[in-house]
Structure 1
């Protein structure tokens, strides 16, 4: 008696499946964020402390040097960036959590490309981080930033772009990590120096040459500066104060236009996404 052979049909991978996978991963990130109120609160505490506690303290020291503006107004774009960046990195870190609990393996055996999973993860992280940043936007009036619709829309777009790039960077790091402790250690080592060197907390004008070079090669500088220029474009401050607090980023004496900075952030994000997809395809 011959055993009957049962045929197995493998569902072909199509573009529609990849699009659906992106939607599913994005939706999962949104649900995870909405159900984790502790994460929402803890991610907001640090930038609020920096803005209202340290910003107020530093403001008392430089009050006579920068007349006509609150130092917290200067720090405000940097605190938006800090909120977005930290939230985006934590979103990317959930990949390590999924790997530890076996959920990642279930996604990897699905008939969709791993690139679709990475894209969905990056979009989800960007949307979640932007939503978190909206809360900081709501505090704009408390630090002297006007509630201009054009300004708010501009900041939202720049926040999303920065968050997408940072999430792609986080996914790149998380692709080979086996536990959350390793990921958070590497994340702190990579993000904190970049954050401090981005001009989020101090002006980029009149820096020592070595520090100017470090801020120029720091990718986060090109995410923070467009936000600051958008904010200062809506403020009425003396020209000398604007030159001191909002000098922009210069290459060999040439001040980069905002559109160039945004283009750099977008290009870096696409490049990091490509590397992240490559690393993810190699991961087990």
Structure 2
């Protein structure tokens, strides 16, 4: 009589190397998805370009006499970089909801990898994609009076990546439990638009009413936009009084917040949001 033998199934051992490969795969998938979606690439650029060249030119014509020696679009340029990476990072995070609707997320969650690796890969993928999108805005620097200084470009790249990672982690945290894209994008607009308007991306932070100053100080995106503006203004020549109006920095009462601390706030927030996102995924189905 024939006997049957049990077939052994070998499952790869879990470890740091295994999780790193999972991070790489998720990151690579995010990049392929973005590169193959030309419509998404174009749409993510249209809004900041319109704000910079249309709104910036219109506002500049109104305030030209008050800020001699500088194009208002130069002031808006760091804010438009931030808008580009923030919107791209959030859309990358939104792909989690899409994957859930089509069943791919379930396959990822049952794979023999830690859910933390999936979240980290997602956040890194969104950050890389958003930074790549931001490079297109960097290429437009000369059109708005920003010099193509290697030091400036490298500083802006690093700050873009940090902001993109944090906002993608925020998006992943929001998307971890959501079931449909409409809910996610509605909540995204409700969260992102106020943060963008209150970050100083489109108006100076100097001489604000006290209630508006408080809102800008507690807004985390302020600490992503201001270091980029500080970097840009350190490479252009503007009158001291104009610099004081357009580039006052962030103040906590009488304390001028240094750029290093601002970047530290963004990095700490990104890590905290990443931890919350991992916890949400561990409770997900």
TM-score range, shorter chain: over 0.9
Q: CA–CA distance in 1 between the matches of 2:28 and 2:8? A: 34
Q: 1:14: Cα distance to partner?
A: 1.6
Q: Which residue of 2 aligns with 1:272?
A: 273
Q: 1:8: Cα distance to partner?
A: 4.7
- Establish whether residue 176 from structure 1 lines up as the match of residue 146 from structure 2: no
Q: 1:5: Cα distance to partner?
A: 5.1
Tell which deviates more after alignment, 182-191 or 10-19. 10-19
Q: 1:6: Cα distance to partner?
A: 4.9
Q: CA–CA distance in 1 between the matches of 2:92 and 2:279? A: 19
- Structure 1, unmatched stretches of 5+, are none
Q: Would you say how many aligned residue pairs link Structure 1 and Structure 2?
A: 284
TM-score, normalised on structure 2?
Answer: 0.97
Q: Which residue of 2 aligns with 1:237?
A: 238
Alignment of 1:156-167 (within 5 A): 156-167=157-168
Q: 1:3: Cα distance to partner?
A: 7.2
SS in 1 for 2:269: helix
Q: Which residue of 1 aligns with 2:211?
A: 210
Q: Which residue of 1 aligns with 2:110?
A: 109
Q: 1:16: Cα distance to partner?
A: 1.3
Question: RMSD of the TM alignment (CA)?
Answer: 1.2
TM-score, normalised on structure 1?
Answer: 0.98
SS in 2 for 1:206: coil
Q: 1:17: Cα distance to partner?
A: 1.1
Q: Which residue of 1 aligns with 2:23?
A: 22
Q: Which residue of 1 aligns with 2:128?
A: 127
Q: Which residue of 2 aligns with 1:258?
A: 259
- Establish whether residue 194 from structure 1 lines up as the match of residue 195 from structure 2: yes
Q: Which residue of 2 aligns with 1:90?
A: 91
Q: 1:277: Cα distance to partner?
A: 0.5
Q: CA–CA distance in 1 between the matches of 2:131 and 2:207? A: 32
Q: CA–CA distance in 2 between the matches of 1:150 and 1:11? A: 44
**Per-residue deviation, residues 75-112 of structure 1 (Å, max 9, x unmatched):** 00000000000000000000000011111111111110
Q: CA–CA distance in 2 between the matches of 1:7 and 1:247? A: 67
Q: CA–CA distance in 1 between the matches of 2:147 and 2:134? A: 16
Q: Which residue of 2 aligns with 1:40?
A: 41
- Structure 2, unmatched stretches of 5+, are none
Q: CA–CA distance in 2 between the matches of 1:120 and 1:226? A: 26
Q: CA–CA distance in 1 between the matches of 2:8 and 2:216? A: 60
SS in 1 for 2:76: helix
Q: CA–CA distance in 1 between the matches of 2:82 and 2:7? A: 56
Q: 1:7: Cα distance to partner?
A: 4.9
Q: 1:10: Cα distance to partner?
A: 3.9
**Per-residue deviation, residues 195-236 of structure 1 (Å, max 9, x unmatched):** 100000000000000000000000000000000000000010
Q: CA–CA distance in 1 between the matches of 2:125 and 2:266? A: 18
Q: Which residue of 2 aligns with 1:155?
A: 156
Q: CA–CA distance in 1 between the matches of 2:38 and 2:253? A: 46
Q: CA–CA distance in 2 between the matches of 1:158 and 1:8? A: 46
